[in-house]
Amino acid sequence: MKLAKIFCAMMLAVFAAALSGCGSSALSLDNSVRKSVAVCFPNLTPSWQRNGAAMQQLLEEEGFTVDIYYTGKAEEQAEQLRSAIAKKPGCIVIGALGTDDQYVDVLAEAKKLKVPVIAFDRVITSSDAVSYYASFDNGAIGEGMGEYLETALGLKSGSGPYNIELFAGGQDDNNAHVFFEKTMAVLEPYFRSGQLVCRSGQTTFDKVYVADWVSENARPRIKQLLSQYYTDTPLQVVLSPNDDIAGVILSEFSAAGKPAPVISGLDGDPAAYQRIREGTQTFTIAKDANVLTAKCVRMIKAVVEGTQPDINDVTTYKNGDRVIPAYLCTPQIVDKTNVDIVAK
């Protein structure tokens, strides 16, 4: 065994072209480059800060040097990517901010320079430079939100009618569309049966998205909804696509002197756990940064070592005919029954 390894190392030194075939030994030939990772994340929500911090810590523990870039603007992210790619790191990890088309050119550059790309949390389907996708199961998140509301409101056993208003995430993010679509698939029968009533009539993504996922962008709309449609009747249920936005919505309920509705969230922000304890936010779907980054770091290691990463989904995400192999982690519902266990 030992001999075989030594032989492999000698062969590598002589035939550098055979690099990829010899697994982890490849690392030692060009260590400084391969052991560097560039991470480009949005700075939109506390969850991204948690992802960035966890990523940095885990990668450093694995001996990688890490360059982390944050921004809230898609054009700036393209610039950050350009400079990160020019340094030819061993791998680039992207939490995409822009539309898919915005990544075509810059990722073509990554491909040219043979820099592998991993899409993190948000998929990029426009570029064949994307080798893998590490995320949570976005479909399960959307379904989970719908099913939680269905149970909490007793919809299956016919209760209602309840007044509901809907909010969705940012228009350019595939996740936002998936979450909304899957939640609505669960709730739609109850709109039809009259158990859920949306007084504003705003029930499609294009009417309810929160531009760029910026939570403050939800404020004018909830203000308007409350003052236009809910002065003589309570707004009892709100679909919020994440915790940050739930925080803004709830602050407007409180400013209007109204009791908190049944309201969803996503991410597992500490502020959301606090609101769950206080009884204002009903639940969140926690996406543990440590779980996702641990999977992603294993993917990065496999990519730089030329081995196969763990994959558990080869059907959901595609770029044309090409599958984007993914690892989709399992999210966790957190409400008043388990918040003290989850958020110790």
Nearer to ligand BGC, 205 or 229 (CB): 205
Nearer to ligand BGC, 97 or 110 (CB): 97
What's the min distance (Å) between Cβ of 266 and ligand BGC?
5
Q: Which of 12, 37, 40, 44 touches ligand BGC (CB under 6 A)?
A: 44
Nearer to ligand BGC, 45 or 281 (CB): 45
Residue nearest to ligand BGC according to CB distances in the complex: 242
What's the min distance (Å) between Cβ of 146 and ligand BGC?
16
Determine the angle formed by the axes of helices 270-278 and 243-255, rounding to 10 degrees.
Answer: 40
Q: Does 267 sit near ligand BGC (CB under 6 A)?
A: yes
Q: Which of 119, 168, 266, 333 touches ligand BGC (CB under 6 A)?
A: 266
CA-CA-CA-CA torsion for 233, 238, 243, 248, nearest 10 degrees?
A: -40
Nearer to ligand BGC, 195 or 284 (CB): 284
Q: Does 281 sit near ligand BGC (CB under 6 A)?
A: no
Kindly give, in sequence order, each residue whose CB lies less than 8 Å from that of residue 163, ignoring residues fewer than 6 positions away. Answer: 197, 198, 199, 230, 233, 234, 235, 236, 237
Nearer to ligand BGC, 48 or 317 (CB): 48
User: Which residues 97-136 are close enough to bind ligand BGC by CB under 6 A?
Assistant: 121-122
Are β-strands 322-323 and 318-319 bridged in parallel, bridged antiparallel, or unpaired? Answer: antiparallel
Distances in whole angstroms, Cα of residue 201 to Cα of each of 62, 98, 177, 196, 217 = 52, 29, 19, 11, 20
Tokens 């909010």 -> residue: 167
Q: Does 175 sit near ligand BGC (CB under 6 A)?
A: yes
Q: Does 45 sit near ligand BGC (CB under 6 A)?
A: yes
Q: For residue 262, count CB atoms less than 10 angstroms from its CB and return exposed for 0-12, middle for 13-18, buried for 19 or more.
A: middle
Site size toward ligand BGC (CB under 6 A) is 15
Q: Does 328 sit near ligand BGC (CB under 6 A)?
A: no
Interface region with ligand BGC, contact rule CB under 6 A, candidates 19-27, 41-49, 194-202, 325-333: 41-49
**Radius of gyration (Cα) for the chain, nearest Å?**
23
Are β-strands 36-42 and 91-94 bridged in parallel, bridged antiparallel, or unpaired? Answer: parallel
Q: Three-class SS string for 171-185?
A: CCCHHHHHHHHHHHH
Interface region with ligand BGC, contact rule CB under 6 A, candidates 27-35, 154-162, 168-176, 273-281: 168-176
User: Which residues 53-72 are close enough to bind ligand BGC by CB under 6 A?
Assistant: none
Element (H, E) at 28: helix 25-29
Kindly give, in sequence order, each residue whose CB lies less than 8 Å from that of residue 198, ignoring residues fewer than 6 positions away. Answer: 163, 164, 165, 166, 191
Q: Which of 147, 150, 165, 173 touches ligand BGC (CB under 6 A)?
A: 173
7-10, long-range: CB < 8 A, 24+ apart: none
User: Which residues 192-231 are close enough to bind ligand BGC by CB under 6 A?
Assistant: 213
Q: Is 165 helix (H, G, I), strand (E, B) or coil?
A: strand
Residues that bind ligand BGC (CB under 6 A): 42, 44-45, 47-48, 121-122, 169, 173, 175, 213, 242, 266-267, 287
